[in-house]
Amino acid sequence: MGDVERWHELGQQLRVDSIRAAAVTNSGHPTSSMSAADLMAVLMTKYLHYDFDAPENPNNDHLIFSKGHASPLVYSMYKAAGAISEEELLTFRQFGSRLEGHPVPVLPWVDVATGSLGQGLPISVGVALAGKKLDRLPFRVWCLNGDSEMAEGSMWEAFDHAAFYELDNLVAVLDINRLGQRGPTMHEWDLNSYANRARAFGWKAIEIDGHDYGEIDRAYAEAIETHGQPTAIVARTIKGKGVKEVENKEGWHGKALDHPDEAIEELGGIRNEVIQVPKPEGDGEPHVFETGDLELPRYDEGDEVATRKAYGDALAALGSANGKVVAVDGEVSNSTFAEIFKEAHPDRYFEMYIAEQQMAAAAVGMQVRGWHPFASTFACFLSRAYDFVRMAAISRARFSLCGSHAGVSIGEDGPSQMALEDLAELRAVHSSTVLYPSDGNQTAKLVAQMAELDGISYIRTTRAATPVIYGPDEEFPVGGARVIRSSADDDVTIVGAGITLHEALKAADALAEDGVSARVIDLYSVKPVDAETLQAAAEATGGRIVTVEDHWPEGGLGEAVLSAFADADERPQVLKLAVGGMPGSGKPAELLAAASIDAEHIAEAVRRLVSAAAVT
């Protein structure tokens, strides 16, 4: 049997299996799978180098379906590779099956979750960057993209960065099947429009008929011979190819076929061929960066240091001790202080320019290869990458985020640069950790722990220099809280973190002069939250708590505290201070006062709470 015949047989098998899989629960995307079946048939028999028995082999290529809804095709390929059984294929989309509606890394051969379009390619850029600059291994990254998702700006962030970093180990296959979910795509079969854009962004682009095996074969051959730039294979395909009832017809996106048996017959019936996917050619080991002991920065009590500066110092120190730590930043490294890491470890720093989606995606891609990225920008701009963070949780990804310039306390720049929703945003991410230090030494200790945490960990840093209040040898376990001031006869507990902790301490001083004794808690770990310490404080201070946060009232520190008591037997009265009105520009102190979260307003709130209690 010649190559073309073999490819045809495999292409038909992949189509048949896609239809069979979708028939199981009468849901899924068979027609989106059928358009790309020939492209994948040629790829997996000749160009993809992958050991399905050893998915952890560092020399494996990576195949990422940016069009994650073509999951029937993914699973059909796994069956054709002998990685899953026919029986398992037919569990598609059933409760408890590994074969979910969109691919997730519950399967050992899936690198990342896709299904939110426009993410697979930017993540592939991250994997390819890791391959070239970190692992320094010759594996390739193959990414299958839909045409609808080319409308996502994140795709063009990926095109921009892949060319800039000369990622010739990256091949993007564009499955131009003309039809989106509800009708034709913007550019339909105008292959040129895609190819011209790719070229304008610095890529090699090859236009082909995605059902002509010879053209597909030559395109891959050309792609792997291309040096210094990534390649886009722009393939004209037919959605639903092979089954007349659905071929190139609207109204068949995300639907199982009405007559699967007839369709399977039209495609030549069920086949169960298992093909040999080429094994990885190399046997190299990933590059290892030299490291020494961990020597975190040490700040003297009484000095002033911004937690963002401490973040940079600590990250650089961590990088010296842990060769897996890398950093990416969204063109603000002189503000986030990621630049300190960059100077110390230039080989492990990657500039992502002002492309926060690509920044997050690069982090996700690098952690696929076992690196631990720290991605930083202004905390408010992490909102640009929220969908990527959401999806990263589904990818069971393990990396860290740093958001600087939190809250109104940044001052003159005004609200566009103030993160006032980031705690809500990052708390509402599955399995996330949310940290908010108030002091340089504490920041250093938290940064060091972040590299050891599973899931997505987030640290919120402050623009302004604040007093160092902790010694460099104190410990701040994630999930803890620090009672920073207390006495046996405290009247109230004030809970703050970051900038507001310092205001809380000043408030406590002022209150002490009035004879009001305030316990002060530093809630540096907003998620997980230390319910035990909070409950003990509430009990000891008459069930009175004032929370204060440089954040909107919703979803942040105040609600984290409330949730800690939600169904507890005793629930304290919690007076939540947060930013209520829209801030403008001004000096940090003016803005903290205007938001009623400075020392004076905290003290006032405490007095109200305590005197109301005295009356009742």
* Residues marked as catalytic: 356
- Between 238 and 609, name the residue whose CB sits nearer to its own copies: 609
Residue 332 within binding range of its own copies, rule CB under 8 A: yes
Q: Which residue's CB is nearer to its own copies, number 128 or number 592? A: 592
Task: Give me the least distance between CB of 279 and its own copies, in Å please.
Answer: 31
Contact 44, 275 (CB under 8 A): yes
281 binds its own copies (CB under 8 A): no
Cα–Cα distances (Å) from 388 to 361, 396, 423, in that order, read 7, 12, 16
Cβ-contact 597, 549 below 8 angstroms: yes
164 binds its own copies (CB under 8 A): yes
Q: How far apart are CA 209 and CA 207, in angstroms?
A: 7
3 state SS of 448: helix
Q: How far is the CB of 604 from its own copies (least distance, A)?
A: 14
Among 153, 228, 471, 477, binds its own copies (CB under 8 A): 153
Which one among 87, 488, 569, 615 touches its own copies, defined by CB under 8 A?
Answer: 569
Does the footprint of its own copies cover residue 386 (CB under 8 A)? yes
Select from 8-16, 325-333, 475-483, 506-514 the region that touches its own copies (CB under 8 A): 325-333
Nearer to its own copies, 542 or 555 (CB): 555
According to DSSP, the β-strands at 544-548 and 492-496 are: parallel
Which range binds its own copies by CB under 8 A, 124-132, 457-465, 500-508, 578-586?
Answer: 578-586
Q: And the tokens for 615?
A: 């009356």
Q: Does 555 bind its own copies (CB under 8 A)?
A: yes
Q: Which stretch binds its own copies (CB under 8 A): 6-14, 48-56, 134-142, 549-557?
A: 549-557
Binding track over 39-78 against its own copies, x by CB under 8 A: -----------------------------x----------
Q: How far apart are CA 605 and CA 616, in angstroms?
A: 17
Handedness of CA 6, 7, 12, 16 (dihedral sign): positive
What gap in Å lies between CA 188 and CA 183, rounded to an integer?
10
Q: Nearest CA to 53 among 216, 213, 264, 277?
A: 277
**Is residue 122 helix, strand or coil?**
helix
Which of 488, 566 has the CB closer to its own copies? 566
Q: In a 10 Å sphere around its CB, with 0-12 CB exposed, 13-18 middle and 19+ buried, how is residue 2 labelled? A: exposed
CB of 253 to its own copies, least distance (A): 9
* Residues in 344-363 that interact with its own copies by CB under 8 A: 353-358
Shortest distance in whole angstroms from residue 314 CB to its own copies: 20
Q: Which is nearer to its own copies, 356 or 530 (CB)?
A: 356
- Pick the closer one to its own copies by CB: 198 or 318: 198
**Number of other CB atoms surrounding residue 387 within 10 Å:** 17
Q: How far apart are CA 160 and CA 139, in angstroms?
A: 21
* Token pair listed for 585: 């520009």
- In this structure, which amino acid lies at residue 205? A
Residue with smaller CB distance to its own copies, 11 or 403: 403
Give the binding range for its own copies (CB under 8 A) out of 22-30, 48-56, 311-319, 320-328: 22-30
**Binding of its own copies at residue 4 (CB under 8 A)?**
no
Look up residue 405 and give its two tokens: 């310039």
Which CA distances in Å does 522 have to 342, 445, 530?
A: 31, 15, 10
- Segment interacting with its own copies (CB under 8 A) among 57-65, 211-219, 224-232, 574-582: 574-582
Of the listed pieces 235-243, 284-292, 333-341, 460-468, which binds its own copies according to CB under 8 A? 333-341
Piece in contact with its own copies (CB under 8 A), picked from 289-297, 496-504, 505-513, 556-564: 556-564
Applying CB under 8 A, does 458 fall inside the site for its own copies? no
Report, in Å, the least distance between residue 8 CB and its own copies.
31
Q: Which is nearer to its own copies, 288 or 568 (CB)?
A: 568
**Is 331 exposed, middle or buried (CB count within 10 Å of its CB: 0-12, 13-18, 19+)?**
middle
Task: Read off the tokens for 462.
Answer: 């402050």
Shortest distance, position 34 Cβ to its own copies, whole Å? 19
Cβ count within 10 A of residue 17: 30
Question: In the set 323, 415, 467, 472, which binds its own copies (CB under 8 A)?
Answer: 415
535: tokens are: 């409950």
Smallest distance from its own copies to CB 294, Å:
27
- The interface with its own copies within residues 178-217 (CB under 8 A) comprises 180-182, 185-186, 193, 196-197, 199-202
Range list of β-strands (E), 239-395:
304-306, 325-329, 349-351, 372-378
Residue among 60 and 333 whose Cβ is closer to its own copies: 333
Contact pattern for its own copies over residues 420 through 439, marking x by CB under 8 A: xx--xx-xxxxx--------
Cα gap 402→373, rounded to integer Å:
11
604 binds its own copies (CB under 8 A): no
Q: Is 611 in the site for its own copies (CB under 8 A)?
A: no
Report how far residue 588's alpha carbon sits from residue 582's, in angstroms, rounded to the nearest whole number: 15
Residue 3: CB minimum distance to its own copies, A: 35
Q: x/- binding map, residues 282-321, to its own copies, per CB under 8 A?
A: ----------------------------------------
Q: What is the secondary structure of 237-258 as a DSSP string?
A: --TTTT-TTTTT-TT-TT---S
Give the rounded distance of the alpha carbon of 302 from its chain centre: 37
Q: Which residues contact 265 (CB under 8 A, 6 or more apart)?
A: none
Instruction: Using alpha carbons, select from 425, 362, 421, 436 the residue that is nearest to residue 397.
Output: 362
CB 251 within 8 A of CB 258: no
Binding to its own copies, residues 497-536 (CB under 8 A): 527
Shortest Å distance, C-beta 12 to its own copies? 26
**Does 333 sit near its own copies (CB under 8 A)?**
yes
Reported as type and span, the H/E element at residue 525 is strand 525-527
Determine the size of the site formed for its own copies (CB under 8 A): 114
Is 111 one of the binding residues for its own copies (CB under 8 A)?
Answer: no
Instruction: For residue 445, give Cα distances in angstroms to 122, 365, 436, 472.
Output: 32, 26, 12, 9
